[in-house]
């Protein structure tokens, strides 16, 4: 009996699930441990180690000195205040602008060219103008973070509104819903996940803009600490600042992700 020619074994559908919580936690811990180990080994290289301070150097020299003197806590709190302050203002401003752009075509045609124009400008290029208009106070730093976060979030939310299934809108019209009912009961709930995604992108953008924002002149802040340490070639303090920013960003992102899972269970 001859085998059938051209027969292919059915492919198994890829599992897109995240797996069990225990496995995910173990994999994350293993990934972090492997990354720290690689960082440690690279820091012991005779050439790379001159530039890259290892985790032991960061803890012994950087963290011990800065924490004992109380400077690290101050820098973290000041930078966190700036990031959350600029991000909060940007989030509150991005939501109405994005919804108005998605709901009214004329409004979108007016603001979209400016949004796309400003979105291509690096935040660091705006620093001279911001300093001239606002000086070197906290307003200047919040403004730089606000601009970068706002542009990212408003575009993300707008795209979410435009990608809403029109079948839902048509069904609401069929049942006699008013424009306000469609907006409040269809558009807003359907775009809610995109709002949370925009919040995550905005917080990461705020953190990446932090160093540029603190170039407007400051005494405290993680960005300022990194810049000062670079001048004196204190690579342990540079790495300490980078690690602190990364930890803050990870914690804030996990917090928003947790809220996203809790608030979008209805989907």
Q: Domains of the chain: which residue ranges?
A: 56-263
Tokens of 244: 């602190």
Rounded to 5°, the CA angle 89-93-96 comes to: 155
Residue stretches of the chain with pLDDT short of 50: 1
Tokens of 94: 């991005």
Residue with tokens 């608030």: 263
Q: What is the pLDDT of residue 27?
A: 86
Q: What is the pLDDT of residue 61?
A: 74
Q: Which CATH number fits domain 56-263: 3.90.180.10, 3.30.2390.10, 1.10.3720.10, 3.40.50.720?
A: 1.10.3720.10
Please state the pTM of the whole predicted model.
Answer: 0.80
| Rounded Cα distance, 29 and 48, in Å | 26
């Amino acid at each position: 009996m001859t085998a059938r020619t051209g027969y292919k074994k059915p492919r198994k559908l890829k599992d897109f699930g995240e797996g069990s919580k225990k496995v995910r936690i173990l994999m994350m811990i293993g990934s972090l441990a492997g990354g720290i180990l690689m960082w440690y080994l690279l820091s012991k290289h005779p050439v790379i180690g001159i530039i890259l301070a290892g985790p032991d150097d960061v803890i012994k020299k950087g963290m011990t000195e800065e924490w004992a003197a109380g400077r690290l806590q101050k820098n973290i709190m000041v930078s966190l205040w700036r990031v959350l302050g600029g991000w909060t203002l940007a989030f509150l401003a991005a939501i109405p602008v994005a919804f108005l752009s998605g709901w009214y075509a004329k409004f979108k045609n007016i603001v979209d060219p400016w949004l796309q124009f400003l979105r291509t400008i690096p935040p660091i290029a705006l620093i001279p103008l911001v300093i001239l208009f606002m000086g070197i106070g906290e307003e200047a730093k919040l403004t730089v973070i606000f601009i970068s976060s706002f542009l990212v979030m408003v575009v993300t939310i707008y795209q979410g509104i435009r990608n809403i299934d029109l079948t839902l809108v048509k069904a609401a019209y069929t049942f006699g819903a008013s424009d306000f009912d469609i907006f409040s009961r269809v558009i807003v709930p359907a775009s809610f996940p995109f709002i949370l995604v925009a919040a995550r992108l905005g917080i990461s953008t705020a953190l990446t803009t932090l160093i540029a924002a603190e170039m407007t002149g400051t005494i405290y802040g993680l960005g300022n600490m990194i810049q000062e340490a670079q001048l004196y070639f204190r690579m342990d303090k540079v790495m300490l600042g980078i690690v602190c920013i990364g930890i803050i960003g990870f914690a804030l992102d996990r917090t928003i992700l947790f809220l996203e899972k809790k608030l979008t269970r209805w989907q």
